[in-house]
Chains A and B, each alone.
Chain A
Amino acid sequence: MPKITYIKPDGTPLTIENAEGNLMEIAVENGVDGITGDCGGVCSCSTCHVRITPEWIERVGPASADEKNLLSYEDSADGRSRLGCQVVLNPELDGLIVEVVGS
C-alpha cells in the first residue's frame, strides 16, 4: 500500500503509511491541516488544494478539465496544482510528496 507525505502549510511534513483512497480523503481521515474536503470529493469546493512536488508531476498526471476550471478561480494555483479529491492513489504513487496549499 502506498505511502504519502503531506507538507503542511506551516512547512512540517506528515507521512501516512498504507494510504488508500484519494488525497483529500486520506488527509481528512488523518487530520491534515489545510485540507477540509467540504464537498466530499465532487470537485465543488476547492478545499483540498495541493501542489505536487516537481519530481512527482509526471506520474500523478494533469488535472481534468473540471478540475482546471475550479483551480482557475484559486489565486494561489499554479502548474503544479491539483485538487486532492481528484488524485487517487495507486501503487505507482508510493512515496508521493505533496504540498498543502491551505486557505
Chain B
Amino acid sequence: MSDTSCPYDPFKDVRKQKGIHIGHFDGEEIPMILRYHDVRSAAKDWATYSSDTPFRVPIPSEEDVRSYRQLPIETNPPDHTEYRELVEPLFRRPQQQDYIEEIEKMIDRLLESKLRAGIPVEVVSEFALPLQCKALTRLLRVPESEADTWLLWGMHPFLGEDRQEKGADLERYLERKFIEAKQSAPGDDFFSILAHAEFRGRPLTLDEMMGFGNLAFAGGRDTVINMVTAVIGYMAEHPEAITKLRENPKLIPTAAEEFARIISPVSRIGRTCPTGAHVAGHTIKPGQRVALTWASANFDDSVFDAPDEIRLDRKPNPHVAYGFGPHVCLGAPHARTLIRSLLKIISIRLERIDLLTSKQNRLAGPNIDRHGYYDSLEVRFLGLKSLASNGDR
C-alpha cells in the first residue's frame, strides 16, 4: 500500500469529469455511479435503485455459482425489512463487550502463535483467512471446529477456477446444517435461529434459509481478508502508526473507519432501475443495472479533505464503505469489531512488523482496476521487548 500515489482511487478523473463510468461486465454495459452524493442518494432510494433481483446485486452476477436468492440483501422493503429483522439481533451481538473481548483474545492467540514461531508469516493464508473463519464461528455461534471446513473454500467460495464446485459444496454444507437444525430443538446459533424462525406467521422455507446462509458465507469473506491483510501491510510500512495507536488508543475506532474508507473492500454493488433513472446528467434506461461505486464515493474531494491521504485521526469521516440506507452492511458490526480488535492487539503486542515480500493484486477489473490488495504478504511480527519472552526474534 502506498499513501502517496493512492492506488485505491483510479476513478478520480472520470468521477470529476463525468460522474459516471460505463463499465462492461460479462458483456453487460453497467453505468458505474461515482460521485459521493449520487451514490448515497441512490443507496437510500431503494424503489428507483432496486435490489429485488436475485443473483444480480453482485457485479458480476452470480447465477453460475449459486441457486438461491440471497437474503435479505436481494429483496426490497418491506420484505427486506422483515427478513432482516430475523437475523439483526444476532448480527448486532458484536457490539457487546463480551463479544469484543472474545475477538480480542482470538486475535491475541493467533498473533502469539506467530510470534512464538518467529518465522515469516504469509498473512493472507496464515493469518487473515483463519482469522476470518474463526471469527465467523463466533458471529454465527457455532463451534470453532466448523472453521476447519470453511477454510477449504479459500479466499472465497465463489472465486477461482473451481468456483462452481466450491459454490455447490457450500450449498450442500448449508443444506445439511439447516436440515439438522430443523430436526433439533431450538438453539441460539445462526442455523437454529433460521430453522425455527417465524416469518409472517409461517416457518421459513428451505430456499429462504439457504438464501440467508449463502449471504452469511459469501459476504464478509474476501472483504474481511482484504481488510485484515491491508491493515497489516500498512502497519508494516508505517511502524509509527503502531506507536501512535499504542499511545492514543482512543484513535483505534477512528483509524478503523479510515481503513474501511481507504480499502473500501466492497468496491461496488449492483442495483436495477425498473423505471429508469437520471443521475449525473446520464439517463439510465428502464431495467438497466447500475453500480453504486462505494470505492469511488469514498475519495470524492467535495466531501473528503485530501482523500488520498490515510489519516488515522480523520474525523469526521462520512464514508460509505459499509454501504448506506436499508441495505447497509449486515455484517458491519462484526467487521468493525474485528478491525478495531486487530488494531488494538497489534498496538499492544507488537513493536513493528517487518515486510519481507508482497504480491499485490487488482480488485475491480476489468474496467477500472484498483490496486493495493494482496495476493500474498509475507511479514515477520516483532513483539514489544517488554513482552518478548517467547523467542519472538
List residues of chain A with CB under 8 Å of any chain B CB: 28, 36, 38-45, 64, 66-67, 69-70, 73, 86
Q: How far is the CA of A60 from the CA of B40 in the complex (A)?
A: 28
Q: Report the contact-size class of chain B (Cβ under 8 Å from the partner).
A: 20 to 34
- Residue B256, interface by CB 8 Å: yes
Q: Are A38 and B318 in contact (CB under 8 A)?
A: no
Is B310 part of the binding interface, using a Cβ–Cβ cutoff of 8 Å? no
Residue B21 interfacial (CB < 8 Å): no
Q: Are B324 and A66 in contact (CB under 8 A)?
A: no
Which residues of chain B have C-beta atoms less than 8 A from A40's C-beta?
253-254, 256-257, 336, 340
Roughly how many angstroms separate A45 CA and B333 CA in the complex, as a whole number? 11
CB of B317 within 8 Å of the partner chain: yes
A36→B92 contact, CB < 8 A: yes
Which of these, B41, B44, B319, B333, contacts A44 with CB under 8 Å?
A: B319
Which B67-94 residues have C-beta < 8 A from chain A? 92
CB-based closest 9 A-B pairs:
A40-B253, A43-B316, A42-B317, A66-B316, A42-B257, A44-B318, A42-B315, A43-B318, A44-B319
* CB-based nearest B residue for A66: B316
The answer to whether residues A42 and B314 also contact, given A73-B41, A73-B324 and a CB cut-off of 8 A, is: yes
B333: chain A residues within 8 A (beta carbon): 38
Identify B257's interface contact among A28, A39, A70, CB under 8 A: A39
Q: Whose C-beta in chain A lies nearest to the C-beta of B325?
A: A73
Q: Is the CB of A69 within 8 A of B318?
A: yes
Interface residues of chain A: helix, strand, loop or mixed (majority): loop
| Cα distance A69–B314 in the bound complex, in angstroms | 17
Contacts of B315 in A (CB 8 A): 41-43
A44 and B92 contacting across the interface, CB-CB below 8 Å: no
Kindly name the residue among A41, A64, A67, A86 whose own CB sees the greatest number of chain B CB atoms within 10 A: A41
Q: Which of A38, A44, A45 has the most CB of B within 10 A?
A: A44
Which residues on B sit within 8 Å (CB–CB) of A69?
303, 318
A72 to chain B, nearest CB (A): 9
A73 in contact with B40 (CB, 8 Å): yes
B341 to chain A, nearest CB (A): 13
Known: A39-B257, A40-B340, A44-B319. 6 other contacts (CB 8 A): A36-B92, A39-B317, A39-B336, A40-B256, A42-B315, A42-B317
Contacts of B317 in A (CB 8 A): 39, 42-44
Query: Are A42 and B318 in touch, CB under 8 angstroms?
Result: yes
User: In the complex, are the beta carbons of B316 and A38 less than 8 A apart?
Assistant: no
The chain A residue with its CB closest to the CB of B37 is A69
Contacts of B254 in A (CB 8 A): 40-42
Verify A41–B318 contact, CB threshold 8 A: no
Contacts of A86 in B (CB 8 A): 316
* Complex interface: chain A residues within 8 A of B320 (CB): 44
The answer to whether residues A70 and B336 also contact, given A36-B92, A40-B254, A41-B253 and a CB cut-off of 8 A, is no
Q: How many Å from the CB of B309 to the closest CB on chain A? A: 15
Which residues from chain A contact B257 at a C-beta distance below 8 Å? 39-40, 42, 44
Give B332's nearest chain A residue, CB to CB: A38
Q: Which residues of chain B (313-361) have a CB below 8 Å from chain A?
A: 314-320, 322, 324, 328, 332-333, 336, 340
The answer to whether A42 and B95 have CB atoms under 8 Å apart is: no
Q: A39-B257, A44-B257 are in contact. Are A70 and B318 (CB under 8 A)?
A: yes
A85 CB to closest chain B CB (Å) equals 9
Task: Collect the chain B residues with CB atoms within 8 Å of residue A43's CB.
Answer: 315-318
The reply to whether A38 and B336 form a contact with Cβ atoms under 8 Å apart is yes
Q: Please tell me if the beta carbons of A64 and B316 are within 8 angstroms of each other in the complex.
A: yes
Q: Contact flags (1/0) for B273-308 with A, using CB distance below 8 Å? A: 000000000000000000000000000000100000
Residues of A within 8 A of B95 (CB): 28, 36, 38
Which residues of chain B are near A36, meaning CB under 8 Å?
Answer: 92, 95
Which chain A residues border B340 with CB–CB below 8 Å? 40
The CA-CA distance from A73 to B317 in the complex, in Å, is 16
Nearest chain A residue, comparing its CB with the CB of B40: A73
Inside 8 A of A28's CB, which chain B residues have their CB? Answer: 95
